[in-house]
Amino acid sequence: MKIGILAAGITPDSLLGEFPTYANMFAEQLGKLQKDFSFVTYDVRLDEFPNSAEECDAWLITGSKADAYSDEPWILRLCSLIKEIDQTQRPLVGICFGHQVIARALGGRVEKFQGGWGVGIHQYDVCGSLPVLPEAKELALCAFHQDQVVEKPARARVILRSEFCENAGLLYEDHILTFQGHPEFSKVYEKALVDLYDGKQLTQEQAKTALNSLESSDIHSNQMMSWIGLFLKKES
């Protein structure tokens, strides 16, 4: 299977020597789980787009520091591609910015959350049953965001939620799956990101709370990445 990764963002320059790009995080982790996957990355920030939604068998949109509600030309073009992918019913997965921009493209609303930043490990309530964790009532993922989907598209079903993030996971029929959290992030990378933004975008108190969560909570990244792999193959 040919998986198209729509890279909407990249690992900060100061961390690139130690960590992969966001696109490569997915390619490396999913490639270990699904041996028949091949990957092609489109840097949509630089206006690198596929010729059509049929160029790949399935698609994934990464996180980004960009605002999903912006009217930058590449974001508007990405919204058009999302609609095209949706019409073909090819599998599509969105993470963080990807989660938000898919919601925007399909009729939802995204904005800067009045409750502030969501960083560190966040616990989400499971709404229903997840294929990879059928008995789970909660799951935990690394988070790093200030924007949120504040109104979900009418057709989307909420699968993960928390008091901080009402629409943390969305499922659109059987071919679009999105998460606000980051299953591709390790605790080590999340810590590096928090340290980088400590005292800048994040207050010292926010950074301290986030770092404490990394010490006290486990994450379900492996299980969620497994689900993403199965979903892209339409086997979940």
Catalytic residues: 96, 182, 184
Q: Judge contact between 91 and 190, C-beta under 8 A.
A: no
Find all residues with CB under 8 Å of 52, minimum gap 6, and list them: 84
Cα separation, 30 vs 47, in Å, equals: 25
Cα separation, 161 vs 179, in Å, equals: 10
The token duo for 51 is 């010729």
Place of tokens 């901080």: 164
Q: Judge contact between 98 and 61, C-beta under 8 A.
A: yes
